[in-house]
Amino acid sequence: MGVYERQIKEKEILEAAQELFSKKGFYLTKMDDVAKRANMSKGLIYFYFKNKEDLYMAITQKAFEEIISLYQKSIQKNKAKKGIDIVIDFLSVFMDFNAKNHLYRDAIFHFLGLMKAHNNPKTKEGIDPLILESPYFQKVLELQHEPTKLGISMISQGIRDGSIHKSIEPEMAYFTLWALVIGFDKLSTFGDPQNNETLYKIKIEDWKNSILSLAQAILKNEKSMQQAFQATLF
């Protein structure tokens, strides 16, 4: 079997698994379901992926690769712009991405939870060995810090070019903005999707724009804009 054919088969299996994991969840999805959805034999599925955990780790790797690609595209398309513009553009794209790719978001958070357990000798033994044995787990270990490095580099560029306030600490700012975006993503899922509203009748797009305005105010250290955030939102 050629490399190209193998890549096509792997892609088809992953697409089937992603669809099922999104609809039924990881625990309710069986490898038989994946085989049926991919229109392949179960034996062929196991030829490419050792088990369901291996499949999920492959999806996790794809999730990290997609996020890294978002960072790189924002940097490339805005290379003539100031650092703060690159950061704000990325945050906007990232929020839209999360709204459409909850499985990837959940996979990344699941992996971060694994890392918390993995880095503690007392809890590492509790991790499913099938996950630790997956070659994709090792690949994600190598990728996990790349998004953070790229995000911090965007903020650092803004500090150097003067578009981001010199008092801003890049690492702290990065994780503060990350928390804002993840909070938005989590809370925006509660509400009325048909009318694009949150649980408290706030329009999603209005809230997104307010988050971006607040992020800009934080990076510029403009306290007056931060105080005006509530008035903008409500």
- In this structure, the answer to whether residues 5 and 102 fall within a common structural domain is no
Share of the chain above pLDDT 90, in %: 75
- In this structure, the answer to whether residues 97 and 211 fall within a common structural domain is yes
- In this structure, the answer to whether residues 21 and 58 fall within a common structural domain is no
State how far the Cα of 92 lies from the Cα of 95, in Å rounded to an integer.
Answer: 5
Q: Which helix (H) or strand (E) holds 191?
A: strand 191-192
CATH number, domain of 3, equals 1.10.10.60
Question: Over 60: is that where the pLDDT of 125 sits?
Answer: yes
Amino acid at 168: I
Are 155 and 220 in contact by the 8 Å Cβ rule? The answer is: no
State how far the Cα of 234 lies from the Cα of 221, in Å rounded to an integer.
Answer: 22
Nearest to 162 by CA among 83, 225, 106: 83
- In this structure, the answer to whether residues 10 and 93 fall within a common structural domain is no
Mean pLDDT estimate for the chain: 90
- In this structure, the answer to whether residues 113 and 211 fall within a common structural domain is yes
State how far the Cα of 101 lies from the Cα of 22, in Å rounded to an integer.
Answer: 9
Quote the domain boundaries for residue 146.
Answer: 51-233
Max Cα-Cα span within the chain: 63
pLDDT tens digits along 16-69: 999 999 999 999 999 999 999 999 999 999 999 999 999 999 999 999 999 999
Residue 39: φ, ψ to 5°: 60, 45
Question: Over 70: is that where the pLDDT of 140 sits?
Answer: yes
Domain total for the chain?
Answer: 2
Q: Would you state the structure tokens that stand for residue 224, as one six-digit string?
A: 């007056």
What pLDDT band is residue 6 in, cutting at 50, 70 and 90? confident
The pLDDT, as a whole number, for residue 224 is: 54
What pLDDT band is residue 225 in, cutting at 50, 70 and 90? low
pLDDT tens digits along 181-199: 998 888 877 767 666 776 6
Listed residues 49, 67, 84: the one ending a domain: 49
Higher local confidence (pLDDT), 88 or 224 = 88
- In this structure, the answer to whether residues 64 and 25 fall within a common structural domain is no
Nearest to 119 by CA among 135, 176, 111: 111
The pLDDT, as a whole number, for residue 10 is: 94
25 burial level (CB within 10 Å; 0-12, 13-18, 19+): exposed
CATH number, domain of 77, equals 1.10.357.10
Q: Please give the torsion angle defined by the CA atoms of residues 163, 179, 232 and 96, in that order, rounded to the nearest 10 degrees.
A: 90
Amino acid at 68: I
State how far the Cα of 94 lies from the Cα of 75, in Å rounded to an integer.
Answer: 13
55 burial level (CB within 10 Å; 0-12, 13-18, 19+): buried
On whether the pTM is more than 0.85, the answer is yes
- In this structure, the answer to whether residues 81 and 140 fall within a common structural domain is yes
- In this structure, the answer to whether residues 56 and 141 fall within a common structural domain is yes
Higher local confidence (pLDDT), 175 or 225 = 175
What residues form DSSP beta bridges with 20? none
